[in-house]
Amino acid sequence: MRGKIKTYNSEDFRQEYFNNDSELNRLFEKSIADFFCLRIEDLISGVLKPIAPSREESHTLIFVTYSSYKTEIDFKEYEIRTNQILTIQAGAVFSVDEIIGNVRGYVCHFHPNILIGLFGNRSLISEFEFLNTGNYPVIDLKESARIAVVNLFERMVSEFKAEGHPNSSIIHSYLYALLTELKILYGKEYFSSQSASYRLLSKLRMLAHQKVKENLKVADFASMMNVSPNHLNKAVKSITSKRASEIIEEIKLIEIKYLLYQSNLSISEISYQMGYLDPSYFTRFFKKREKISPTDFRKMIEKS
């Protein structure tokens, strides 16, 4: 019988699955919150045990440059081979039955918030479709792109491992360049073969981004898509294990965080922009999902 699936933040996951190696601890204490980029070889010696089915709040990209290893994403097994990149999307259930052995490559781990920070913008989440839960998690790296991708990983590793504090501007720029390369590589081939449920999910995400400030409900989106709310909910849940309302809320939260990061608007002004006439309701909406108020979230940004 499977145990309960835990959802980890980055620090809790490291505490659970990595030993108290002083060098790794030094690297993990770097000042960019919820980000690291290291070679697989740097991490293997610190792994304590196989990974039980888990969820993380961050995305992880694993690029294998030598050998292969097996993992499960949403309970489906994948073997990641040389010149393939695995995308473990934030919120996906993943596990590894055996500690990785003689494998080389790179691991890049980052929270979705990094995409809407100083060097991001609100369109990035929808732009990088492969980061959305439910999409095919393996990207084949074409030889023509290999050198560029290796170079981007190497630059992030070098910047992250350098003495002192990493330059967040450089890290963000390299990460954006890497994700853009992967977007091109991911291409359209996976989308054409997806199910009707996947196409409904993809359309819901697109419409939710377009209408993010209109405070629409599931029934409104279902009407635009010419399906019943019940059918839309079933389709979304079959792909993501989430309700359609949760997908809509996640996209609204992305926009709210963007405004808290990038604008000088007051909390009340952001509330009105997002279609909430009652700022106290808006604050409760945000705090229920983020466990912190919009005001405290903004203070946290200013301190980071």
Give mean pLDDT, residues 182-203.
Answer: 72
Give mean pLDDT, residues 166-184.
Answer: 88
What is the amino acid identity at position 11?
Answer: E
Q: Are residues 168 and 273 in the same domain?
A: no
Q: Are residues 29 and 102 in the same domain?
A: yes
> Considering Cα of 173, then 176, then 180, then 186, what sign does the dihedral take?
positive
Of the pLDDT bands very low, low, confident and very high (cuts 50, 70, 90), residue 28 is confident
pTM for this prediction: 0.76
pLDDT of residue 79 exceeding 90, the answer is: yes
Give mean pLDDT, residues 168-190.
Answer: 82
Within-domain flag for 32: yes
pLDDT of residue 189 exceeding 60, the answer is: no
- Contact indicator for 253, 109 with CB cutoff of 8 Å: no
Kind plus residue range of the DSSP H or E element containing 261: helix 244-262
Least trusted range by pLDDT, from 23-32, 62-71, 102-111, 168-177: 23-32
Task: Rounding to the nearest 10 degrees, give the CA dihedral for residues 232, 238, 241, 245.
Answer: 0
Q: Are residues 36 and 117 in the same domain?
A: yes
pLDDT of residue 2 exceeding 50, the answer is: no
- Contact indicator for 117, 50 with CB cutoff of 8 Å: no
Q: Are residues 32 and 165 in the same domain?
A: yes
Domain boundary among 192, 209, 233: 192
Beta strands in 111-189 (DSSP E): 138-140
Q: Are residues 94 and 242 in the same domain?
A: no
pLDDT of residue 151 exceeding 80, the answer is: yes
Give me the residues paired with residue 7 across strands: 55
* CA dist 231 → 16, 176, 203, 226 (Å): 39, 36, 14, 10
Please indicate whether residue 292 or residue 114 has the higher confidence score (pLDDT).
292
Q: How many CB atoms lie within 10 A of CB 142?
A: 12
In the chain, the number of structural domains is 2
Q: What is the pLDDT of residues 249-269, one digit of tens each?
A: 988 888 898 888 878 899 999
Please indicate whether residue 270 or residue 263 has the higher confidence score (pLDDT).
270
Within-domain flag for 1: no
Residue 109: closest CA among 59, 179, 149, 159: 59
Of the pLDDT bands very low, low, confident and very high (cuts 50, 70, 90), residue 22 is low
Could you give the CA distance from residue 239 to residue 148 in angstroms, rounded to a whole number? 33
Could you give the CA distance from residue 197 to residue 203 in angstroms, rounded to a whole number? 10
Q: Are residues 223 and 179 in the same domain?
A: no
Q: Are residues 175 and 38 in the same domain?
A: yes
Give mean pLDDT, residues 29-48.
Answer: 83
Q: Are residues 214 and 181 in the same domain?
A: no
**Mean of pLDDT over the chain:** 85
Q: What is the pLDDT of residues 202-216, one digit of tens each?
A: 889 888 888 989 989
Could you give the CA distance from residue 287 to residue 37 in angstroms, rounded to a whole number? 30
pLDDT of residue 44 exceeding 80, the answer is: yes
The pLDDT score that the predictor gives to residue 284 is: 95
Give mean pLDDT, residues 290-296.
Answer: 92
Residue 254, judged by CB atoms within 10 A of its CB (0-12, 13-18, 19+), counts as buried
Q: Are residues 216 and 234 in the same domain?
A: yes
Here the CATH number for the domain that contains residue 37 is 2.60.120.280
Q: Are residues 260 and 121 in the same domain?
A: no
Q: Where does residue 215 fall: left (phi above 0), alpha (psi -120 to 50 degrees), or beta otherwise?
A: left
Range of the domain at 209: 196-303
Q: Are residues 122 and 158 in the same domain?
A: yes
What is the amino acid identity at position 96?
Answer: V
Of the pLDDT bands very low, low, confident and very high (cuts 50, 70, 90), residue 1 is very low
Of the pLDDT bands very low, low, confident and very high (cuts 50, 70, 90), residue 192 is very low
Q: Are residues 217 and 266 in the same domain?
A: yes
The pLDDT score that the predictor gives to residue 243 is: 93
Please indicate whether residue 25 or residue 52 has the higher confidence score (pLDDT).
52
Sheet holding 6-8, edge to edge: 6-8, 51-56, 94-96, 69-73, 76-80
What angle, rounded to 10 degrees, do the helices at 196-210 and 229-240 form? 110
